[in-house]
Amino acid sequence: MRRFLACAFAGAVLSHFAASAAAASETWTFCVASARGGGDDVWITDVFAATRGREKLERDMKAYLATQGATRVDVQCPAPVADRTAAVNAQFAAAEFNRKLGAQLHEVATRDFAR
């Protein structure tokens, strides 16, 4: 019985550390798209876990926006960072910057393009 409890405890401890390590290795980003040619429309996503490379995310967002009728857009997704708070702050700064420029901001749910 002791051996079983020791194994169960060790398994619980190891799974806790594995989950912590997985969470620690997660990186975060967001994406911003703007209408090409000086348009006032800007699309911005919420912050999400970066499970793919930037180039793939940018292509996916561009393809999603094309299905919504926005075909002439430039998309940028900043390099993913390990600190989620830093990504949220950068996303907020990007939104504020575009608001100050007078852009019409459109929120894009990550689940809509990052399937």
Residues 42 and 103 sit within 8 Å (Cβ to Cβ): yes
- Whether residue 57 is contained in a domain is answered as yes
Residue ranges making up the domain that contains 45: 28-113
pLDDT tens series, the chain, 115 aa:
333 333 333 343 333 433 444 455 899 999 999 998 766 899 999 999 998 899 999 999 999 999 999 989 999 999 999 999 999 999 999 999 999 999 999 999 988 876 5
- Whether residue 19 is contained in a domain is answered as no
The DSSP call for residue 28 is E
Is 64 exposed, middle or buried (CB count within 10 Å of its CB: 0-12, 13-18, 19+)? buried
Return the pLDDT at 110.
84
- Whether residue 46 is contained in a domain is answered as yes
User: At residue 79, what is the residue type?
Assistant: A
Residues 33 and 73 sit within 8 Å (Cβ to Cβ): yes
**How many structural domains compose the chain?**
1
Q: Which helix (H) or strand (E) holds 73?
A: strand 73-76
